Amino acid sequence: MTAHQPYETLRGHDGVEVRRYPEHVLAETTVEAGFEDAGNRAFRILFGYISGTNQAEQKVAMTAPVLQD
């Protein structure tokens, strides 16, 4: 199961929350392709990063949410 980033709710209004998250790593990549193919390509790149293919050569915990657009 993927862990969820802990947060503190600062305030809410009409179903919208303002949240404070602790310091964390954010990994992002951009690929040129159709939506489905781009998602697959980007996932492989990001999976490599969290598996240790990064500058520090260290694994990074994967947390939710994972976003794609």
Domain range summary for the chain, segments of one domain joined by +: 25-63
CB 33, CB 41: distance < 8 Å: yes
Tens-digit pLDDT profile for residues 12-38 = 999 999 999 999 888 889 999 998 899
Over the chain, what is the mean pLDDT?
89
CA–centroid distance for 46 within its chain = 9
**Residue 1 predicted with pLDDT over 80:** no
CB 31, CB 38: distance < 8 Å: yes
d(CA 12, CA 14): 7
Provide the pLDDT for residue 30: 93
- Output the six-digit token pair for 21: 């998250």
Looking from the CA of 63 toward its CB, the CA atoms found within 13 Å total 13
DSSP H helix total and E strand total for the chain? 1, 4
